[in-house]
A and B are shown apart, each in its own frame.
Chain A
Amino acid sequence: MIVRISGEDQYELPDDDAGELGELERTVIATVDEGRDDDFPSAYAALVDFVRGRGTPLGEDDLRGSDVILPPSDISFAEAGREFTGEGLIPD
Chain B
Amino acid sequence: MAGLGGRMSTVVKAKVSKLLDRAEDPAETLDYSYQKQVEQLQNVKKGIADVVTAKKRLQMQESTLQQSVVKLDTQARQALASGHEDLARTALERKNVAQTELQSLDTQVAELEEQQQKLTDSEQKLRAKIESFRTKKEVIKAQYSAAEAQVRISEAATGVGEQMADVGLAMQRAVDKTENMRARADAVQELEAAGTFDDITALGSGEDDIDRQLKQLSSQPAVDEDLAKMKSELGVGAPEAAQIPAGEQSGEAAAQPDAGAGS
Q: Which residues of A contact B (CB under 8 A)?
A: 3-4, 6-7, 9, 18, 21-22, 25-26, 28-29, 47, 60-72, 83-84, 88-90, 92
List B156-170 residues whose CB lies under 8 Å from chain A: 156, 158-162, 165-166, 168-170
Judge whether A90 and B1 touch: CB under 8 Å: no
List of A residues within 8 angstroms of B61 by Cβ: none
Per-position binary interface string of chain B over residues 156-191, scored 1 when its CB falls under 8 Å from any chain A CB and 0 otherwise: 101111100110111001000000000000000000
Nearest chain-B residue to A80 (Cβ)? B4
Q: Select one of B125, B162, B168 contacting A69, CB under 8 A.
A: B162
B170 & A6 in contact (Cβ 8 Å cutoff): yes
B122 touching A7, Cβ below 8 Å: yes
- Which residues does chain A contribute within 8 Å of B132, judged by CB atoms? 60-63
Q: Which bucket holds chain B's interface residue count?
A: 20 to 34
- Of the stretches B6-14, B68-76, B195-203, B205-213, the one at the interface is B6-14
The minimal Cβ–Cβ distance linking B91 to chain A, given in whole angstroms, is: 38
Query: In the complex, which residue of chain A has the Cβ closest to the Cβ of B126?
Result: A60
Question: How far is B155's CA from A65's CA once the two chains are assembled, in angstroms?
Answer: 7
> In this assembly, does B247 line the interface, its C-beta being within 8 Å of a C-beta of chain A?
no
- B118 (CB) vs chain A CBs: closest residue: A7
Chain A residues in 8 Å Cβ range of B3:
25-26, 29, 84
CA distance A70 to B8 in the complex (A): 9
| B141, CB-defined interface residue at 8 Å | no
A-B contact pairs, 5 of them (CB 8 A): A7-B169, A21-B1, A25-B4, A65-B158, A69-B166
Cα–Cα distance between A6 and B125 once the two chains are bound (Å): 12
Contacts of B7 in A (CB 8 A): 69, 88-90
Q: Report chain A residues within 8 Å CB of B122.
A: 7
Partner of A63, one of B12, B160, B165: B160
**Residues of chain A with a CB closer than 8 A to B161's CB:** 65
How long is the Cα–Cα vector from A9 to B161 in the complex, in angstroms?
14
Known: A60-B125, A63-B136, A72-B170. A89 touches B118 (CB 8 A): no
| Closest beta carbon of chain B to A65's beta carbon, Å | 4
Which residues of B lie under 8 Å from residue A67 when comparing CB positions?
Answer: 1, 9
Chain A residues, Cβ within 8 Å of B166: 4, 6-7, 69
Task: Please give me the residue from chain A that is nearest to B166 by CB atom.
Answer: A6
Sort A-B residue pairs by CB-CB distance and give the 5 closest, nearest first.
Answer: A63-B159, A60-B128, A65-B158, A61-B132, A68-B5
Using Cβ atoms and an 8 Å threshold, which residues of chain B touch A71? 4-5
Chain A residues with CB under 8 A of B133: 63
Closest Cβ–Cβ distance, residue A21 to chain B (whole Å): 8
Interface pair B118/A90, CB less than 8 Å apart: no
Residue of A nearest to B15 (CB): A92
Question: A64 to B156, alpha carbons, bound, how many Å?
Answer: 6
* Interchain CA distance A18-B131 in the complex, whole Å: 31
Closest-by-CB residue of B relative to A87 is B7
Expressed in whole angstroms, the Cα–Cα distance for A42 and B9 within the complex equals: 25
Q: For the complex, give the distance between the alpha carbons of A88 and B11 in Å.
A: 10
Extra 4 A-B pairs, beta carbons < 8 Å, given A26-B3, A65-B9, A90-B169: A6-B169, A69-B6, A72-B169, A90-B7
Question: Which of A61, A63, A66, A89 touches B155 (beta carbons < 8 Å)?
Answer: A63
Do A7 and B170 touch (CB < 8 A)? yes
Q: Which residue of the partner chain, among A65, A68, A90, contacts B159 with CB atoms under 8 Å?
A: A65
